[in-house]
Chain A
Amino acid sequence: MHYLKDRAEDLIAAFVTGGIGLFIVIESMSYRLGTLRSMGPGYFPAIIGGTMLVLAVIMLLTAQRSERLFSLERGQVRGVLFLTAAFGAFALTIESLGLLVSVTSAVFLAALANPNTKWPLALILAVCTAVVCVLIFRVGLGLQMRAY
């Protein structure tokens, strides 16, 4: 048990690699394999998946103890959540509501990823950025995006 715990980092890495490799091999079986002389769409993926399995086995066998498993720093969770929300807000609103709304919401949410940024400041920054973005990308470069 100690063996596994000490080597958690290497072992997780090996299992993730092996899992992806296995998935690729299985998935590639659903395409025509072909022969070396005339390879089908499944041949090269099968080689790649196989390589990952071999590398995973090597990692498994040479797993070493590591100091400590990765730890999330404080504040990183908040950053990840708000930044994901920011990108999500942009993606959800860009086609229906246009550049102005989507940039405002994205910048507002992204700014709040920093715990020390107060929301009024974030809002001002968001509106200013949105206006500038519309001027640069819609008016200046003429990208095919609705402003609002």
Chain B
Amino acid sequence: MSSLISDIALGLSVAASWEGLMYCFIGVFLGTLVGVLPGIGIMATLAMLMPITFHIDPTFGLIMLAGIYYGADFGGSTAAILMNLPGTATSAVTGIEGYPMAQAGRAGPALFMKAIASFVGTMFGVVLLVGFSVPLARVALQFGPQEYVALMSLGLVAAAVIGTGRSIRSLVSVTLGLALGLIGLDLNSGVGRFTFGMTEFYDGLPLVAVAIGLFGLPEIIANAGRSELPKVQEGKIRMRDMMPTREDWRRSALPMVRGSAIGSFFGALPGTGGLVATFVSYAVERKVSKHPEEFGHGAIEGVAAPEAANNASVQAAFIPTLSLGIPGDPVMAIMLGVMMIHGIIPGPNVIQSNPDLFWGLIVSFIIGNFMLLVLNLPMVGLWVKLLKIPYNLLFPVIVAFTCIGIYSVHYQVMDIAILVAFGFLGVGMKALKFEVAPLLLGFVLGPMIEQFFRRSLIVANGDLGTFFERPIAGTIMTILIAIILVAVAANIRGKMRARREVRNA
């Protein structure tokens, strides 16, 4: 217990320092901004700020990037409630109930309850993060290469199969990501693989260019031609009108708790994350509600639960990232990338070797969420005004920042070409309905999986059974195979049924 207090004190000394507060504020401010503005995603923002994080202390860089991540969800649901224009994918669920509330003149209570629910969810997630990360990392120190292979494979398969609906296509994305991760020098033999004789490829493809190409460029391309401005509900929102009624509080309390629990569960699972968590928690509330007929017409539970779930999942997503070094979603993959560029090897040792980073980041979550409360409740009018910035003047600036950001990583012109190539890949994959998120996870985890895979088999003398004989690895592998079989069976059965219906019709 005393060590926990001293750890938190250490975190406080980092996060509450001048620089810590400043970068945290920049993060949540920019996060809210891009969350509110449609057409700029989290990934594109991370790209623009990437160059800055390479020139400051990694702890502050991560504090800032994390702030963007949870700040964007916060801002995204503000836009979802006021304009039914979710700025991020996860805030779409909030709009289902939030927008009808705003139309009925209850935007204030919806925004207020959203803020409180986000805060509750965050705190729930942070407590879990503190409670689980340290013991998990301690267990993980005993892991052999087999356990890592099993865990990472589970993460990849879960990312592909859960919540996408097109599991075969997502498995293809994962595999393609793994293949792209192969590019570069093979660490064991020194052979350059898939480099086609180009020295620029020896270090592998640059993560930043790949990520921004896949996520940022298709977004910019899709929105570049847009010039009309979103319609904003006129009328001022005053602080006085924001207070929810006692009835609102009573109806929201339990959904917040349920949402937090659901969110933490899905957030901690590698590969699933916030989107699944929000949809599941919304569905649960709808099912357990005493007045399900209100759903779709502004039921406050439908705001409180998904918001709590979303924010709890954001925090819980840091559990596997920080304690095992396994990223659960593309944003976490970027975080790990920043750590690696600073020479910090992600894994169970991070908590021990960089306690200031770990605890500083955790305390910054709490500080950042207080900042978000202030930024989003009294100052909500400011964000609404910001929606009047025309996008056609904004995106060229984003293009410039992206170019500089990517070029400044290695000072290689080749990286810009890689960015554009992955932009085209992203657009092409979207056209053929492939998910891009699993690809990025595969790309980040690929080199690690290969290393651990080869090491396991050297240790086990070439016996593939080694992945099933060790208790932890064996359990995970069994779950993994079960997930694949269920997904493939469901896929084939669904298609058979579809075919039969076509034939009968």
Contact = CB atoms under 8 A, between A and B. Distances in A.
Contacts of B492: 62
Nearest to A52: B175
A87 B93 CA distance: 35
Contacts of B417: 91
A102 B226 CA distance: 25
Interface in A64-114: 64-65, 70, 73, 75-76, 78-80, 82-84, 86-88, 90-92, 94-95, 99, 102-103, 106-108, 110-111, 113-114
Contacts of B126: none
A37 to B, nearest CB: 3
Contacts of A35: 462
A106 B420 CA distance: 13
A147 interface: no
Contacts of B502: 65
Nearest to A103: B400
A44 interface: yes
B172 A9 contact: no
Contacts of B172: 13, 17, 52, 55-56, 59
A49 B182 CA distance: 11
A83 B217 contact: yes
A80 B305 CA distance: 40
Contacts of A95: 413
Given A111-B392, A114-B225, A55 B193 contact: no
Contact of A9 (B395, B433, B463): B433
Contacts of A76: 221-222, 225
Given A62-B491, A137-B51, A83 B220 contact: yes
B408 A12 contact: no
7 contacts: A12-B432, A38-B458, A38-B462, A51-B175, A52-B179, A107-B399, A141-B55
A105 to B, nearest CB: 10
A133 to B, nearest CB: 6
Given A24-B179, A48-B175, A125-B397, A114 B432 contact: no
A20 B397 contact: no
Interface in B208-246: 217, 220-222, 224-227
Nearest to A91: B416
Contacts of A99: 404
Which of A38, A44, A65 is packed against the most chain B CB atoms within 10 Å? A44
Contact of A48 (B178, B189, B396): B178
B162 interface: no
Contacts of A111: 392-393, 396
A12 to B, nearest CB: 6
B179 A48 contact: yes
B286 interface: no
Interface string B167-198: 01101100110110010001011010110000
Interface of B: 51-52, 55, 168-169, 171-172, 175-176, 178-179, 182, 186, 188-189, 191, 193-194, 217, 220-222, 224-227, 392-393, 395-397, 399-401, 403-404, 407-408, 411, 413, 416-417, 419-420, 423, 427, 431-434, 450, 453-454, 457-458, 461-464, 488, 491-492, 495, 498-499, 502
Contact of B224 (A9, A17, A114, A137): A114
B179 A87 contact: no
Nearest to B55: A141
A73 B226 CA distance: 12
B182 A44 contact: yes
Contacts of A106: 396, 399-400, 403
Nearest to B496: A62
B337 to A, nearest CB: 19
A122 B404 contact: no
Contacts of A13: 169, 172, 432-434
Contacts of B191: 31-32, 41
A24 B142 CA distance: 35
A113 B39 CA distance: 15
A108 to B, nearest CB: 8
A40 B187 CA distance: 11
- The 5 closest A-B CB pairs, nearest first, are A37-B462, A75-B225, A79-B224, A36-B462, A110-B396
Nearest to B408: A143
Contacts of A58: 168, 488
B392 A62 contact: no
Contacts of B420: 84, 87-88
Contacts of B399: 83, 86-87, 106-107, 110
A64 B404 contact: no
B458 A62 contact: no
Contact of B407 (A43, A84, A94, A129): A94
Contacts of A64: 495, 498-499
B464 A62 contact: no
Contacts of A32: 189, 191
Given A38-B462, A55-B171, A76-B221, 18 more contacts: A9-B433, A24-B179, A36-B457, A48-B179, A59-B168, A62-B491, A64-B495, A75-B224, A82-B224, A83-B224, A90-B407, A91-B413, A103-B400, A125-B393, A133-B404, A141-B51, A143-B408, A144-B411
A55 B179 contact: no
A70 B431 contact: yes
Contacts of A108: 396
A115 interface: yes
A135 interface: no
B432 A45 contact: no
Given A27-B194, A62-B492, A107 B396 contact: yes
Contact of A87 (B395, B419, B458): B419
A55 B403 contact: no
B392 A45 contact: no
